[in-house]
Structure 1
Amino acid sequence: MNQTNKPGVAAIITLGLVQILSWGGSFYLMAVMANPIVAETGWSQQWVYGALSTGILVSGLLAPLSGRIIAKTGGRLLLALSGAVMAVGLVIMGLSQSLALFLFAWVIIGIGMAMGLYDALFATLGTRYGGQARSAITGITLISGFCTTLVWPGTALLIHWLAWRGACFAIAAMLLLSVLPAYFYALPNVKPVRNLKPKSATQTNSDIAPSLFWLLCAIFTLASVIMTAISVQLISLLQASGHSLTSALAISAILGPCQVGSRIVDIAFKRGHPIWTTFFSVGLVAIGLLLLACFPHMALLSMVLYGAGNGLRAIVRGTLPLAMVKPEAYAIVVGRMARPALIGQALTPLVGGYVFETLGAPATLGLLCVLAIINVLLVMVLKQRLPAPTAAIN
């Protein structure tokens, strides 16, 4: 089903916008909705945030299955139905009067996340367009980089107007009405290639050396763990470093623009191999965290560097595997690599919270610095093991 033409500008914009809605209706939802839920229901905050971890965990467990489905079918229908699945979960969430039903709603939302977030979309694009998908992936992440800037105030406004349950129903309606037609428009229907026989997991991994596969898994997992930990604990870490709440909020607000800015810069270097983008990503994250740990008064600069590196992370997770495997194997490989990263993300709030509570902010930040340095070393190892010479991707 591989096509030689690139996705059009209108298609890339559509895909970027639908990703904003999909991420806003799932992964980023609880950042704004948790407190109103706790206030109304009386459920513990740990359990409410734990529901998000449940959704991420389900998404991680289903990621390899999602990859196999995309490899066989092209992914168009899977992506198109993801909005309906998320909508069902949101409706159940809005109707839930018990914690058990609330957690079940996030199991359903997690299924929708496995069907419709970055990993599934990138796998679909890589399978359809091969190396030509790189510019589309960069464009989509550039647009969706405004996700939190748009969805957090928007969700807060819906909660103000409709309360949190009404907001769930409203977001569900938007997902139900917009996701399916958006994907049907942006991803024209193509017939699957019939001469490719299904491969077992072992055969699929033969398209990429096992050592390279597990290096990629480790790199993406560490990057996801660091990103999740910072997303959850940045305000607390900044306050523990001596910043006021107002100052901490102002500093953290720089992350979004820096992420978008780094993605714009990546467009200018799109002909280079993605391993160099990976170097910049993990290197900037490590430098930013080390700067925050050693010089807390330079927190603004540290977050500029970290935000730029983290912005490139979303691009790398799609483009680096694309440069290393055949298009027909890409969806399955990406699906398998997504599992450990998503499981790591699901466990990070629990483990990070325990470390912060028992050992304090300096130890938490120090641990994140160690993980970031390890990731730089892993990328260096990956670069040495890549086949040479490495062709650039257009």
Structure 2
Amino acid sequence: MAPVRAVPVRDARGAWADIAALGVSQIVGYGTLYYSFGILAPAMARDVGWPTEWVFGTLSVALLAGGLVAPWTGRWLDRFGAGRVMATGSVAAAGALVAAALAPAAPAFVLALVAIEVASTFVQYGAAFPLLVQLHPGTAQRSILYLTLIAGFASTLFWPLTTWLHGTMSWREVYLVFAAMNVAVCLPIHLWLARRPKASALPAVEAEPIAPVTPARGLVPPSLRSRAFLLMGIAFAFQSLVVSSVLVHMLPILSALGLGLAGVMVSTVFGPAQVAGRFTLMVFGRDLSPLALAAISAALLPASLVLLAATAPSAFGAAVFAALFGLGNGLYSIVGGTLPLALFGPEGYGALQGRVTSIRLIVGSVAPFAFALATDWIGVGGGLLITALLGCAAVLAFTAVGLLVKNAACAASNASANVSYDA
């Protein structure tokens, strides 16, 4: 049996520093560019003279633009290095936030919002995961888990922070503050990470406590890669619909269900639930396959929506919903990075992650606007149930991927047995 290659101690120490720094940048990136929007959108609508639904429709267009750009972003991550792309993205994100804050009229605001979502593809998970794969390919899956553990606090920190800031200043001033955070916090981190040496460039010194977990090749044989990617893409698309619909509208949903101020308190359960789920996975789920994790995350999301619709306006029911949805979304974030890596391997991972990000953004781009229209027509409860039904399709698609991998493994095992018998 060939010995397991030891991972350098220097690389191990660097990995923890990389993960911690990248986690901070992800908290700021998601908090300023994504989680704050649902809170500021009503004020934006009043300022530009639009109905709130139109502002969410603009977000859908912006997400679509980000999805269309994502495949190019993925190729740039592989070609130029994810650290350099993320550093550029920090500057772009800050500039886009400033442009939105200074937009004199609706057309300029729309262009700025599109720029924000395009910049997001450079600095959020779609770029952060490939950066970890490039720097530490031997422990990439575990590193992705640790990163999402830290970044799970983004909503917990930025929902109340945005609410507090907006209570003392306009949404435009809030965006200027957020632009400064991207330059002062994220840019230095990404510049430092861009200069970090890759693990392969470091000399092996002694064994490192985190064993390599990234497969050299994916679980899917070349002949089935297209089919497996299609099924995985369908699953991620439906999950994106659920997640995008609810996250953008989280506080308005709870308020519409009669929870009032309690809704803000309940929403704070969401972030810690994300972190708790990831921490539990880190401690107890080491042997859980990415496919099993994907199915679990997909099932938790619609289950939580059904529970919320059935128990409203119960604050306890809403708290359980926030916990389950946070748990499912926390696992969903991990699956988005680890499942493509497990199925298809690390080669060309940046481009692969770009395609995954594109699918999730393009399909999810219609979710905020569509959910807003659905709730106007059939109420919040009806909108939640329809969204839950769509979420069940993700469970079926992930199950199909699992069957495909299982059949491929059985076929390979049978072929190997036949070769051995003939020999």
Q: Same fold (TM over 0.5)?
A: yes
1:385 aligns with 2:404: yes
**8 Å CA contact retained: 2:93, 2:116:** yes
1:304 aligns with 2:313: no
In terms of mean alpha carbon deviation, does 226-235 or 138-147 score higher? 226-235
Aligned match of 1:318: 337
In terms of mean alpha carbon deviation, does 121-130 or 317-326 score higher? 121-130
Of residues 145, 151, 158 in structure 1, which corresponds to 2:152?
A: 145
Aligned match of 2:215: none
Give the distance between the partners of 2:341 and 2:92, measured in 1 at CA: 28
Aligned match of 1:255: 270
The Cα shift of 1:321 comes to: 0.8
The Cα shift of 1:189 comes to: 4.1
Q: Could you tell me the percent identity over the aligned residues?
A: 29
The Cα shift of 1:59 comes to: 1.2
Aligned match of 1:289: 305
Give the distance between the partners of 2:100 and 2:377, measured in 1 at CA: 33
Give the distance between the partners of 2:123 and 2:323, measured in 1 at CA: 29
Aligned with 1:272: secondary structure?
coil
Give the distance between the partners of 2:175 and 2:318, measured in 1 at CA: 36
Aligned match of 2:3: none
The Cα shift of 1:257 comes to: 1.6
Aligned match of 1:171: 178
The Cα shift of 1:82 comes to: 0.7
Give the distance between the partners of 2:82 and 2:223, measured in 1 at CA: 20
Of residues 232, 239, 253 in structure 2, which corresponds to 1:223?
A: 239
Give the distance between the partners of 1:85 and 1:25, measured in 2 at CA: 13
- Over aligned residues, Cα RMSD in angstroms? 2.7
Aligned match of 1:210: 226
Call closer, same or farther: CA 1:150–1:192 in 2, change over 3 Å. closer
Q: Which runs of 5 or more structure 1 residues have no equivalent in the other structure? A: 194-204, 390-394
Amino acid aligned to 2:323: V
Amino acid aligned to 2:267: S
Call closer, same or farther: CA 1:12–1:50 in 2, change over 3 Å. same
Aligned match of 2:115: 108
The Cα shift of 1:108 comes to: 1.8
The Cα shift of 1:83 comes to: 0.8
Equivalence map 1:183-194=2 (5 Å): 183-190=190-197
Of residues 349, 371, 380 in structure 1, which corresponds to 2:368?
A: 349
1:277 aligns with 2:293: yes
Aligned with 2:71: secondary structure?
helix
**8 Å CA contact retained: 1:15, 1:140:** yes
**8 Å CA contact retained: 1:135, 1:270:** no
Give the distance between the partners of 1:354 and 1:155, measured in 2 at CA: 25
In terms of mean alpha carbon deviation, does 41-50 or 377-386 score higher? 41-50
Amino acid aligned to 1:59: G
Aligned match of 1:244: 259
1:13 aligns with 2:20: yes
The Cα shift of 1:102 comes to: 0.8
**8 Å CA contact retained: 1:207, 1:329:** no
Call closer, same or farther: CA 1:170–1:235 in 2, change over 3 Å. closer
**8 Å CA contact retained: 1:93, 1:102:** yes
Give the distance between the partners of 2:94 and 2:59, measured in 1 at CA: 15
**8 Å CA contact retained: 2:59, 2:368:** no
Of residues 337, 359, 365 in structure 2, which corresponds to 1:340?
A: 359
**8 Å CA contact retained: 2:225, 2:344:** no
Call closer, same or farther: CA 1:370–1:62 in 2, change over 3 Å. same
Q: Which runs of 5 or more structure 2 residues have no equivalent in the other structure? A: 1-6, 201-220, 411-423
Aligned match of 1:199: none
The Cα shift of 1:249 comes to: 3.7
Equivalence map 1:29-40=2 (5 Å): 29-40=36-47
Amino acid aligned to 2:275: V
Higher radius of gyration, 1 or 2: 2
Give the distance between the partners of 1:352 and 1:43, measured in 2 at CA: 18
**8 Å CA contact retained: 2:35, 2:247:** no
The Cα shift of 1:32 comes to: 2.8
Call closer, same or farther: CA 1:293–1:111 in 2, change over 3 Å. closer
**8 Å CA contact retained: 2:62, 2:118:** yes
Call closer, same or farther: CA 1:326–1:226 in 2, change over 3 Å. same
Give the distance between the partners of 2:95 and 2:375, measured in 1 at CA: 35
The Cα shift of 1:240 comes to: 6.3
Aligned with 2:299: secondary structure?
helix
Give the distance between the partners of 2:224 and 2:102, measured in 1 at CA: 46
> How many matched pairs?
375
The Cα shift of 1:92 comes to: 1.2
Deviations 1:204-252 (A, max 9, x none): x9596111101111111111110122224455655666x4323444433
**8 Å CA contact retained: 2:301, 2:325:** yes
Amino acid aligned to 1:78: V
- TM-score (ref. length: structure 1): 0.86
**8 Å CA contact retained: 1:137, 1:315:** yes
**8 Å CA contact retained: 2:156, 2:270:** no
Give the distance between the partners of 2:89 and 2:157, measured in 1 at CA: 21
1:327 aligns with 2:346: yes
**8 Å CA contact retained: 1:12, 1:139:** yes
Give the distance between the partners of 2:244 and 2:172, measured in 1 at CA: 26
The Cα shift of 1:192 comes to: 12
Greater than 6 Å deviation, 4+ residue runs: none
Aligned match of 2:391: 372
The Cα shift of 1:119 comes to: 0.8
Deviations 1:299-333 (A, max 9, x none): 43343222211211111100111111231221111
The Cα shift of 1:20 comes to: 1.1
**8 Å CA contact retained: 2:156, 2:272:** no
Amino acid aligned to 1:106: L
The Cα shift of 1:116 comes to: 1.0
